[in-house]
Amino acid sequence: MIDEKGKVKSLSKAIDLMDILCTARRGLSLSELSERSGYPKSTTHALASTLRDRGLLRQLQNGDYALGLRLFEYGSAVSRGFDISELSRPYLESLSSLTGANSVISLLDGESAVSFDYAVSSSGVQILPEIGVRLPLHCTSQGKLMLAYLPQSRVLSLLRRQPMRQYTRHTITDIEALKSQLSDICQKGYAVEDGEYKVGLRSVSAPVFDANGELKYALTTIGFFRRVSADDFVNAVKVTVDQAKMLSNALGFSDKNG
């Protein structure tokens, strides 16, 4: 049935059921679905059965309903259609505007972090981001962030293949000291570089997760901040974390994923 606004009522109700199951994070019985949706049990049964037959819902051994794998296929198709540079552009620009510093987005490629897009602030000293350049993992905020979210065995393997070169007097070159910092990064949810790669430069990177809850990118603010305890850097940390969370949500990530 189509209402006066041109909406298909049964389709809207079916989507309501899927929304309920999405937030429930467990299977729900027919009675629970009926109660939470406010629809009669007969209507709920008809909708759930149709969705099940089309693979959008599945029925568990105890009879409860859960989201079906067909939805995962849809989600994967949507992700493949994303142009991450286009998607991240508003967040990069917002980040630069709010911090007065440059912003960069990077990914892990082999044994290096590689930045692939950026936004330049209109204020302050201009720093040309190193787009396409392979950055070391042990002394950049992007690299340390990526290491922090990898299994420890992978971290050790990467560091053994890529020597921990000393770029400045602040560069960490001891694996145990770095491992301690990586643990701290996971707890805080962001990574800081304090003149470890280039003298005078300081940066903060926050994780961007995909729909599967995996670290996909690092969103970074970089500039000539006086010190990491300065108010402008503390603000940059907060804004970077906030923008990274919003970009993660745009990629389909939800904190409810765990």
Query: Model confidence over 173-203: pLDDT tens digits?
Result: 999 999 999 999 999 999 999 999 998 889 9
Residue 5 is predicted with a pLDDT of 54
CA distance 136 to 162: 8
Report the percentage of the chain scoring pLDDT > 90. Answer: 63
| Nearest partner of 46 among 62, 33, 60, judged by Cα | 33
- CATH number for the segment(s) 9-78: 1.10.10.10
**Cβ atoms of 93 and 118 closer than 8 Å:** no
Q: What is the mean pLDDT of residues 138-155?
A: 95
Residue 71 is predicted with a pLDDT of 86
Q: What is the domain partition of the chain in residue ranges?
A: 9-78, 82-257
pLDDT tens, 108-126? 988 899 988 889 887 755 6
List beta partners, residue 194: 202
Pairing of strands 202-209, 215-223: antiparallel
CATH architecture type of domain 82-257 = 2-Layer Sandwich (3.30)
CA distance 212 to 207: 14
| Nearest partner of 99 among 246, 238, 244, judged by Cα | 238
CA distance 51 to 56: 5
The one-letter code for the residue type at 73 is E
pTM of the model: 0.69
| Nearest partner of 98 among 219, 199, 182, 190, judged by Cα | 219
Mean pLDDT of the chain: 88
**Cβ atoms of 215 and 149 closer than 8 Å:** yes
CA distances to 23, 110, 137, 211 from 73, in Å: 19, 27, 33, 12
